Amino acid sequence: MILSMKGFLGYLLIGVAMAAEPPAWIPMPREVAMNEGRFTLPKDCGVQLERPTDGPRLIAMLRESGLAPKASSTNAAIEVKRAAVKNPTGFPGAYQLDVSSSRIVITTNDDLGAIHATETLRQALDAKGSLPCGKVEDWPAFPVRGFMLDTGRNFQSVALLKEQIEVMAR
């Protein structure tokens, strides 16, 4: 079947419209599989932690979003657990994030992975406390995450630079 350029672009646009779009994450995770539907976090969502070091940043992020998280051992909306995750490079910071219609499960094997998973959640969370359903697997390509800002060839306002530094710091 031969399509004209206009027909081909229309075909592509229809295909893109039917698939669930992932949020614009920075950095983009390695593997993303979006599902239909959304999960809305309850106002007083429970957080189940396997280790206390996994929780402070996650709980602070939830509070910043207007939610009132509480420690819970059963029926928690968010579960953070330690287990082996896909990590071909072997650098610390790998995680798996699974958002279903009823709960969020963060799996990581180190503290840095819990931090990276929390930041991925922060970027996906909308103003209503809702997240798209899907599965994210991410691991670092390099031992250190970095950001280069070239102001000599890319002129930007001071306000935009401050905003970029805030995002980078997260």
Give the tens place of pLDDT for each residue, 108-148: 999 889 989 998 998 898 888 899 999 999 999 888 877 78
d(CA 50, CA 80): 6
Around 68, how many Cα atoms within 13 Å sit in the side-chain half-sphere?
A: 2
User: Rounded to the nearest 5 degrees, what angle is found at the Cα of 25, between the Cα atoms of 168 and 88?
Assistant: 95
User: Is the pLDDT score of 1 beyond 50?
Assistant: no
Residues 87-104: what's their mean pLDDT? 93
User: Is the pLDDT score of 23 beyond 90?
Assistant: no
pTM, two decimal places: 0.75
Q: Which residues contact 11 (CB under 8 A, 6 or more apart)?
A: 3
- Of 18-27, 54-63, 88-97, the one with minimum mean pLDDT is 18-27
